[in-house]
Structure 1
Amino acid sequence: MKQRWSNLLFCHYQVPVESLRPWVPAPLEIETCEGSAWVGIVSFDMSFGIIRYPQVNVRTYVSHKGKSGVYFLSCDAANHLAVFFAKRFYSLPYTYSNIQAQFDATVSFHSMRKDHKYQVEYTPFGEWFHAKSGSLEYFLTERYSLFTDQSYCDIMHESWKLQHVNASIQSNTLGSSKGFSFPLEADHLLYGNQTEVRILSKGVFVY
């Protein structure tokens, strides 16, 4: 499957490893960088074929038998078909959400479902750059596997073209169901312009 991810805000928070352990399957190792685990909230414009919709993912970083990747705590999307497909064929924790987004020079993004709310505006600035291997930026963005509770799939894309970004977070309760209370000031922010993504065949673990 081919997708295009555009206008991404990588919004990250440092968290203790033990706070994530109840939500990540035991066979997956929770990866750390700069002394802590990280939870990322990634809002973006998703498209594949003629389908386009805004999405926001809550994720952390894991490895299994030497393979590093992303583990999703939640995925909110404003498209019923995408939610069905991702849950049915990839076992990803997708939920339909009411998301209003405007992707201009300043991106306006507002996601809401029940008691989960995320509202942010962000504007990239400065020169483009690629994350250096071994850096925190590389750890948080250059990920090429997606893990679920029982399986994984590999993905391919070019390394991210990143920018610094000004972000104003008005509301963030996306971690409340997992016991996280995220402040409105993130620990780390980056902007990713656009990349073409290819999702490869799914593997199956035997835990």
Structure 2
Amino acid sequence: EEVEDVKATLDFLKKANLIDCITEEEYVLAQVEELTGGESESAKRVRKHRENKKAELNDEEITDEIFCNKNVTLDIDIEKELDKEKDLDKEKELDNDLDKDSGQNSYAKNHKKSKKHNKKNSKIKCVSRSVDENLGKISKLYEDNIGPIYPANTQYFIEISEKIHWTLFNRAIEICIAKSNTTPGYLKGIIK
């Protein structure tokens, strides 16, 4: 460095009380001991922000799990209530038919009705089973290729499994991998 530049720098540091002169050739920076190993204000702020964000995420996950479990329980309870109501309606219909018609004729009608009802129920169960299988395959594909499924996203995966087949979902994941962009947002965009 130029001698004049060094002198100007040393003069400035002395005037600002940032450097102490021990000898003509030896200088010590005044605040080095205080700053070394210390944390700046901005670093403190960033660390605190990260801690707060992490705490919020943990709270949200716990809350989502609680709501998710409540929703599942409510859905199961609602289904049970609906099944009970259907059974009561069937019994009332049978009783009414027996009162109106003769025994044999009414029995044949009710038998036909129950067969139709059983066919509908078996179709619903079959569709429900295929949606469950589709959801399982979609979930596995996502976890294997993109990442874990968080409680906040479970409803999205349930809706997707009802709308598209898992092979189409697999193709969307293949596109994500081919483009080297395996973010959930990119995957959702491809599916749309």
- TM-score range (shorter-chain normalised) is under 0.3
Q: Which has the larger radius of gyration?
A: 2
Which TM-score applies when normalising by structure 1? 0.16
Kindly indicate which of the two structures has a greater share of residues assigned to helix: 2
Higher relative contact order (CA 8 A, sep 6+): 1
Kindly indicate which of the two structures has a greater share of residues assigned to strand: 1
Which TM-score applies when normalising by structure 2? 0.16
